[in-house]
Amino acid sequence: MLGFLASVIDGVLVGFVYGLAAMGLTLIWGVMDVVNLTHGVMIVCGMFALYALINTLGIPPYVALLPVLVGGFIVGAGLYWLAIHRVVGRPALMSLLSTFSVNLVLVGLGTAVLGTGLFNVDVSIPGFSLGRYTFPGAHIVAAIMAALIAYALYLFLGHTKIGKAVRAVANNREAAELVGVPTTRVLAFTVGTGVAIAAVAGMLIATLFPFTVLSGDDYTLKSFVVTVLGGFGNPLGALFAGVALGVLEGAITPFVPVSWTLVIEFALFVVVLIAFPGGLFAPRRGAL
């Protein structure tokens, strides 16, 4: 029983990071109705950025947060101009294909240069013990950081001028343009922010689990599940749903082999999509 409880608590910790990752996806989705299929590969970029920063510059893991955030933002803004700008407002097919192809280019580069071997970042922080079970310090720190970043994003969207502009564009792009919001720049900014969040989430995941160039697929699927659970275009819902997914993972881990987790998550994804098309934590219309 204690083992089950420990597994669930660890699930909550990891769930915060899943939630953060999905926030990056759902932000872009909600604002411009584009599903960013480079999401997984951006998470992986964050992982490898951390790996590179630690192994070349030797900086402590969590100091890498700032460069990853800035780098992710620049990459994301570049992604907007390269692949999204021309397809915003066009049929879903076009934006799906264009981001999918960028994803392929990056995955192809990654596998050609780095191979598909397992990489690992060693973070040793004293954990917290509960009877026979120990919660790794890295999990606790990652959960706290994910929650803080998510909260910062929430405040940012709600209370700054740029944040309000982002919400205005999400609500009605034409109206926003009419009252003087530079909507194109706001869109580029949104993609930059979404990708930066994905990269930071990837960085945090890298401190928890080993990873490969192809890990992105698993985390993309998790982000989709979280997004549909949380109601798409709803960052705060994404955080709750992330925790919910973490709890679910924690609860099934003691009973089911790890490799079945994805199958179960996919089944959940389909069931939720069909039963609750608006998500479990569906937002008020236009609330973002």
Partner 1 sequence: MLLTRLARRPFFWIIALTIALFAIAPAIGWDVDMRETLVLDALYIILASNLNIMLGYTGYINFGSIVFFGLGGYICLWLVSAFSLPLVVSLLGAGVGVSLLALIFGLGILRLRGHFFALSTIGIIEGTQAFVQNFNPWGGSAGFYLDTGVFKPLGGPAQALWIIYFMMIAVMGLSLYLSYAIKNSKFGLGLLAIGQNEDAAAILGVPTPLYKALAYCTSAFLPAIAGGLFFFKSAYVEPASAFDLTLSTEVIVVTMLGGQGTVTGVVLGAYLYAELRSYLLTTATFSNFQLVISGALLLLIVLFFPGGLMGWIYSRFPQTKKVLE
Residue with smaller CB distance to partner 1, 136 or 237: 237
Residue with smaller CB distance to partner 1, 158 or 254: 254
Shortest CB 259 distance to partner 1, Å: 5
Euclidean distance between CA atoms 167 and 189, whole angstroms: 12
Shortest CB 246 distance to partner 1, Å: 18
The reply on whether position 111 binds partner 1 by CB under 8 A is yes
Residue with smaller CB distance to partner 1, 12 or 262: 262
Shortest CB 268 distance to partner 1, Å: 10
Here's the x/- map for partner 1, 64-93, by CB under 8 A: it reads as ------------------xx--xx---xxx
Euclidean distance between CA atoms 120 and 47, whole angstroms: 9
Shortest CB 285 distance to partner 1, Å: 18
Q: Which one-letter amino acid corresponds to residue 121?
A: V
Residue with smaller CB distance to partner 1, 57 or 267: 267
Determine contact, residues 215/80, Cβ cutoff 8 Å. Answer: no
Q: Which one-letter amino acid corresponds to residue 35?
A: V
Of 35-64, binders to partner 1 (CB under 8 A) are: 35
Determine contact, residues 203/24, Cβ cutoff 8 Å. Answer: no
Q: How big is the CA angle at 204 (ends 199 and 206), to the nearest 5 degrees? A: 95
Rg (alpha carbons) of the chain, rounded to whole number: 18
Question: 108, 158, 254, 278: which one contacts partner 1 (CB under 8 A)?
Answer: 108
The reply on whether position 96 binds partner 1 by CB under 8 A is yes
| Contact residues for 60 (Cβ-Cβ < 8 A; gap 6+) | none
Nearest CA to 238 out of 225, 226, 248 is that of 226
Euclidean distance between CA atoms 184 and 108, whole angstroms: 30
Q: Which one-letter amino acid corresponds to residue 100?
A: F
Question: 56, 124, 129, 259: which one contacts partner 1 (CB under 8 A)?
Answer: 259
The reply on whether position 234 binds partner 1 by CB under 8 A is no
- CA distances, 70 to each of 29, 44, 95, 165 (Å): 21, 16, 25, 21
Alpha helices in the chain (DSSP H): 2-32, 39-52, 65-79, 92-114, 137-159, 161-171, 173-178, 183-206, 216-230, 235-252, 261-275
Shortest CB 273 distance to partner 1, Å: 6
The reply on whether position 160 binds partner 1 by CB under 8 A is no
> In this chain, which stretch among 50-58, 69-77, 118-126, 256-264 interacts with partner 1, using CB under 8 A?
256-264
The reply on whether position 101 binds partner 1 by CB under 8 A is yes
What would the two tokens of residue 243 be?
């925790």
Packing angle, helices 216-230 and 2-32, rounded to 10: 80
Q: For residue 235, with 0-12 CB atoms within 10 Å meaning exposed, 13-18 middle and 19 or more buried, which class applies? A: buried
Question: 63, 158, 266, 278: which one contacts partner 1 (CB under 8 A)?
Answer: 266
Here's the x/- map for partner 1, 211-230, by CB under 8 A: it reads as ------xx-xx--x---x--
Chain contacts with partner 1 (rule: CB under 8 A): 29, 33, 35, 82-83, 86-87, 91-94, 96-98, 100-105, 107-109, 111-112, 217-218, 220-221, 224, 228, 257, 259-260, 262-263, 266-267, 269-270, 273-274, 277
